[in-house]
Amino acid sequence: MIGGSDSVKVLDLEGRSLFRYALGDFRHQDSFAVRLGGDDTAFLAVVATAPREVGYGRLLLFSKSGQVVYDEILARSVTALTAPDGGAGRQMLLLSGDGLWAYRK
């Protein structure tokens, strides 16, 4: 995936396209694989950003098949991180200039 693009394009290791998702007015900022909770369900987390003068962010979670399972418009631009949740899973953290939010399954 290429930062700044107006869509999410996911390829396998052989370069074959798995899925594509248009972000509309948002641009791809960051993405990573994450397992939320203690099960083996993996998600692709994508953080996107609106134009600077708008200042909104967007968080999407995709299933392995490329379906959107979570889509949230955020009132600010954010940076995404993951961290252990104290158990077998991981929590996703979103950081902005005025806060830190934890996402868990």
Q: Is residue 13 part of a domain?
A: yes
Q: Is residue 1 part of a domain?
A: no
Q: Is residue 49 part of a domain?
A: yes
pLDDT of residue 42: 80
Q: Is residue 2 part of a domain?
A: no
Question: How many domains does the chain divide into?
Answer: 1
Per-residue model confidence as pLDDT tens digits over 1-60: 555 688 888 888 898 988 899 999 999 888 888 776 666 678 888 989 888 888 888 989
- H helices of 1-105, in order, are none
Report the candidate in 36, 41, 30 with the shortest Cα–Cα distance to residue 5.
Answer: 30
Kindly list the distances between the CA atom of residue 45 and the CA atoms of 7, 53, in Å, as whole numbers in the listed order: 14, 24
Q: Is residue 29 part of a domain?
A: yes
Letter string b/e over residues 39-76, b meaning 16 or more CB atoms within 10 A of that residue's CB: eeeebbbbbbbbeeeeebbbbbbbeeeeeeeeeeebee
Statement: residue 83 has pLDDT above 80: no
What's the pTM value of the predicted model, to 2 decimals?
0.78
Supply the range of the domain harboring residue 82.
7-103
Compare 102 and 4 and report the one with higher pLDDT.
102
pLDDT of residue 88: 65
